[in-house]
Chains A and B, each alone.
Chain A
Amino acid sequence: MIEVSNLRKNFGDIEALKGVSFSVRAGEIYGLLGPNGAGKSTTIGVLCGLVVPDSGQASLDGIDIARRPVEARRVLGVVPQEVALYTEFTARDNLSFFGRLYGLGGSRLSEAVEQVLERVGLADRAREPIERFSGGMLRRLNIAAGLLHGPKAVLMDEPTVGLDPQSRASILELVRSIAAGGAAVVYTTHYLDEAERLCDRIGVIDRGSILAEGTLQELRDAAGAREIIALRGTFAAEVVTREMQKHPEFEVLKVTDGELLLTVQRAEQHVAALLAAASSLGTVREVAIRQPSLESLFIKLTGRELRE
């Protein structure tokens, strides 16, 4: 349904995309994960038809986006990160306006509005000005505006930012129902646990390239059976690098002034030795062992955490 092939895009001297490729099938949720500046926004811009790639191709339902952007947008639903709605209007008026821009009108528009309001659980609040809505309700309406025309492909850009756990759960359930309805969903998020719970496949993007891609299990396997030992305290990078060369069983994932992340197989067997050497690394105040996860893979691939 969504095909992205070898996209390249330069902005002046900056290489924003260096051959990005992925595909998303109908009914699949694809998580696109990457830190800020990784190339996510440019990729989404290409899928929306707003950014023309220097080379490569992107298509939606077989429609070449660069050549036929209007037709491509008809099958695309976009849920932006911001709550992009008109606060002067009711939920129904907002949806009616967006529906008209997608070519809906008359009874078709009315039915589509009613259905989508029902789907996001706002049917009973349809006539209320949305300035009275809670954050969770606004997010659901924000999603509804992107689903109104029954798109075959949906781009969702961090749709749960700033929400409480209950509202997040409700939105994630909604996203699953969208995919269950047959739409291909590209989902970007800064919450790794959300990606782990929601996405069928995940692509890790950084510095304009997809660094790893696969199902959650495939990525966990790629991360290996190595666990993460996280030390919090005060560290100097050059000292840590020098000292850890004496312990080749450990791999340094990340070192900052306040945190040191290491990977090792069977961490519990090595913690004692690590603590014995800890005084030479810096001041250690806290030690934690984490199971292999998407996070460890992400850090391993990008050298950064997702929120950076």
Chain B
Amino acid sequence: MTAALTIAAHHIRRVVRNPGLILLLLAIPLTFAIIEYAAFGRTVAKGTLPPATVLFLDEDDTLVSSALPQVFSGGPAKDFFELSQVQSKSEAVRLFKRGQAAALIVVPSGFQSAVLEGKRAELGFYPNPVQSIGPEIARSMLEMTALIGNGLYAKALEPIAQIRALVQAEREPTSDEVAAISRGFFEAGRRLSSLQGLSGLTVGVQRPGASAVKTGFGNDPGQFFAYVFPGLVVFGLLLIAQALAMRLMRDRLRGLQRRLVVTPVGPSAVILGGVFYLVAALFALLVFLGIIGAVVFRIQLRDPVSLVAIGAGFAIFASGLHLLSVSLARSDRGAGFVGSVIVLVLSLIGGSFVPAEQYPPFLRSLAVLVPNGAAQQGFIDVLVHKLPLAALGGRLAVVWSWGLAAMGLAVYFEQRRLRS
């Protein structure tokens, strides 16, 4: 045992002396997480959707047309939209192509006249074809505005008709006519004011307890990353395990392994030393990534015992998998290729890149049966769903069963190879 620990410590010292590749691989999950944070983190932290930019082209240039942008830039809609005036459709197309706008609203020339004359007045709506959510929200907002506008118009037909008559007569209104028009709008407003009750609408929320307030991951970045980060960590560890195991493969090809097994410590200590080295290094890197998650991404590392139980099982699996791969391979290229394919397939099935919740039922079931998927979901269960260790039995059973099986096979084949 002492000899195996000496060998493991020696391998770890080598990694510390020459950490370039490991640091590079460690950067993969961190980079993924930072990219996801840059894309979604800010708005997810606020619990809102990212604002959609709506372009506004006013070809009518009248009092009514200039009032329309208020629909998107005032009131509660201002949190969802950023309004930008453009001078032409071609300018809007340029912004569409750059992905800088979700939709274009065009107020055509003659819009105010049509409104005043009671004719059909149309607004032009052009969604950005390369976006999906933003244009849909803008379209809904515009349709709701048109609905309310039509209601208001119906309530103010009489004063509008009086204005139209004055415009057509091309004369100044008398004081009595002004008073009548004002009275007409006042009445329309009064009738509409009954809708103001909606503005005071409140929704009563039953809060069962303070801890229940932050369920889901939309409320703070810690929750968001607690959901996303485990998959990236699991993927990163699989890659790092491969790189660490490949060092052992290269030792074998350079005759270093044979030199160790002809010392008094013998083959068993050499194999065990390799196992200790891989498991210890991976577990240490897992802890390091966990600390990064807590410090940088504000993940609350709750229930350390559960996290260690899952992490240790997964470190054993990742070590066993790649030890098995290098034990069976005849060249480092062969081991590298096989290892990479296995990592990729496991990561796709396990949900490292696309959350397994989005999978169809069959794949979702499969995802938690592969060790990385079970480990990932186990971490999420602890960090997000706050499940206790006792509720993680299924996940732990999957991770540890795979881990022990892979490690057992790796040790068996390595012993057989060394004795042949």
Question: At the interface, yes or no: B3 with Cβ under 8 Å from chain A?
Answer: yes
- Cβ–Cβ contact A84 & B256, under 8 A: yes
- Chain B residues, Cβ within 8 Å of A51: 419
* Interface membership of A215, Cβ < 8 A: no
Which B residues are in CB contact (< 8 Å) with A88?
Answer: 14, 17-18
Q: Is the C-beta of A98 less than 8 angstroms from some C-beta in chain B?
A: yes
Task: Kindly provide the distance from the CB of A137 to the nearest chain B CB, expressed in whole angstroms.
Answer: 17
A221 vs chain B, min Cβ distance (A): 36
A97 touches B10 (CB 8 A): yes
State how many angstroms separate the Cβ of A242 from the closest Cβ of chain B: 45
Contact across chains for A74 and B6 when beta carbons are under 8 A apart: no
Known contacts A73-B263, A73-B266; is-contact A80 B258 (Cβ 8 Å): yes
CB neighbours of B254 from chain A (8 A): 82-84
Does chain A have a CB within 8 A of B361? Answer: no
Other-chain contact of A78, B17, B18, B259, B266 (Cβ < 8 Å): B259
**For residues 54 through 74 of chain B, which have their beta carbon under 8 Å from a beta carbon of chain A?**
none
Interface-located stretch among A99-107, A233-241, A286-294: A99-107
Contact flag A70-B264 (CB < 8 Å), given A50-B418, A50-B419, A89-B17: yes
The answer to whether A80 and B259 have CB atoms under 8 Å apart is: yes
Q: What's the nearest-Cβ distance from chain B to residue A71, in Å?
A: 8
**Which residues of the other chain, B, contact A78 by a CB distance below 8 angstroms?**
259, 262
Is there an interface contact between B255 and A84, defined as CB atoms closer than 8 Å? yes
> Which chain A residues lie closer than 8 Å to B14 at the CB level?
86, 88-89
Interface flag for B261 (CB, 8 Å):
yes
Q: Which of A47-86 contact B (CB under 8 A)?
A: 48-52, 69-71, 73-74, 76, 78, 80-86
B266 nearest in chain A by CB position: A70
Q: Which residue of B lies closest to A100 (CB)?
A: B6
A50/B17 contact (C-beta < 8 A), A69-B266, A82-B255 known: no
B124 to chain A, nearest CB (A): 68
Residues in B whose Cβ lies below 8 Å from that of A82? 254-255
- In the assembled complex, which residues on chain B have CB atoms less than 8 Å from the CB atom of A86? 10, 14, 256
* Bound CA–CA A291/B256 (angstroms): 41
Q: Enumerate chain A residues within 8 angstroms of B255, measured Cβ to Cβ.
A: 80-84
Question: Is A145 part of the contact surface with B, judged by Cβ < 8 Å?
Answer: yes
Asked if B192 is an interface residue, CB under 8 A from chain A, the answer is no
Instruction: Name the prevailing secondary structure of the B interface residues.
Output: helix
Residues of chain B lying within 8 A (CB to CB) of residue A69: 266
CB interface residues, A 240-255, toward B, < 8 Å: none
Shortest Cβ distance from A140 into chain B, in angstroms? 16
Chain B positions 387-420 with a Cβ under 8 Å from a chain A Cβ: 418-419
Quick one: which of A50, A73, A97, A145 contacts B264, CB cutoff 8 A? A73
Q: B296 contacts the other chain (Cβ, under 8 Å)? A: no
Q: Which residues from B are CB-within-8-Å of A73? A: 262-264, 266
Which B residues are CB-close (under 8 A) to A80? 255, 258-259
Docked CA distance A2–B256 (Å): 25
A101 close to B3 (CB less than 8 A): yes
In the complex, what's the smallest C-beta–C-beta distance from A2 to chain B, in angstroms?
15
User: Closest Cβ of chain B: how far from A108's Cβ, in Å?
Assistant: 15
Q: Which of A52, A70, A71, A101 has the most CB of B within 10 A?
A: A101
A98 to B10, alpha carbons, bound, how many Å? 10
Distance, CA A76 to CA B263, complexed state (A): 8
The residues of A that contact B3 with a CB separation of less than 8 Å are: 101
Answer whether residue B116 sits at the interface, using C-beta atoms and an 8 A cutoff. no
Which residue of chain B is the closest to A47 with respect to CB atoms? B262
Residue on A with the closest CB to B14?
A88
CA distance A80 to B263 in the complex (A): 12
B148 at interface by CB-CB < 8 Å = no
Of B6, B10, B267, the most chain A CB neighbours within 10 A belong to B10
Contact among B6, B10, B256, B262 with A50 in the assembled complex (CB-CB below 8 Å)? B262
Q: How far is the CB of A125 from chain B (nearest CB, A)?
A: 18
Chain B nearest CB from A72 CB (Å) reads: 9
A227-B256 Cα distance, complex, nearest whole Å: 44
- Complex CA gap A65/B22 in Å reads 41
Q: Which of A96-128 contact B (CB under 8 A)?
A: 97-98, 100-103
List chain A residues, Cβ under 8 A from B418.
50
1/0 per position for B261-289, CB-CB distance to A under 8 A?
Answer: 11111110000000000000000000000
Interface membership of chain A positions 149-182, coded 1 if the CB is closer than 8 angstroms to chain B and 0 otherwise: 0000000000000000000000000000000000
Answer yes or no: B260 CB below 8 A from chain A CBs.
yes
Give the distance in Å from the alpha carbon of A51 to the alpha carbon of B267 in the complex. Answer: 12
| B257, chain A: closest CB distance, angstroms | 9
Q: In the assembled complex, how far is the CB of residue A103 from the closest CB belonging to chain B, in whole angstroms?
A: 7
Query: Which residues of chain A from 29 to 54 have a CB within 8 Å of any chain B CB?
Result: 48-52
Q: Which residues of B contact A83 (CB under 8 A)?
A: 254-255
A81: chain B residues within 8 A (beta carbon): 255
Give Cα A82–Cα B259 distance, bound, in whole angstroms. Answer: 10
Measured CB to CB, the closest approach of chain A to B15, in angstroms, equals: 9
> A residues within 8 A CB of B10?
86, 97
Q: How far is the CB of A75 from chain B (nearest CB, A)?
A: 10
A170 CB to closest chain B CB (Å) equals 22
Asked if B260 contacts A101 (CB within 8 A), the reply is: yes
| Residue of B with least CB distance to A86 | B14
Nearest A residue to B256, CB-CB: A84
Instruction: Looking at the assembled complex, report how far the CB atom of B23 sits from the nearest CB atom of chain A, in whole angstroms.
Output: 15
Name which residue of chain A comes closest to B263, CB basis: A101
19 contacts between A and B (CB under 8 A): A48-B261, A69-B266, A73-B262, A73-B266, A80-B258, A82-B255, A84-B255, A84-B258, A84-B259, A85-B256, A86-B256, A97-B6, A97-B10, A98-B259, A100-B6, A101-B3, A101-B263, A101-B265, A103-B264
| Other A-B pairs, 7, CB within 8 Å; known A69-B266, A76-B262, A102-B263 | A50-B267, A73-B266, A84-B258, A86-B10, A86-B14, A89-B14, A145-B259
Q: Which 9 A-B pairs have the closest CB atoms?
A: A82-B255, A84-B255, A84-B259, A101-B263, A48-B262, A73-B264, A78-B262, A88-B17, A84-B256
Q: Which residues of B contact A (CB under 8 A)?
A: 3, 6-7, 10, 14, 17-18, 254-256, 258-267, 418-419
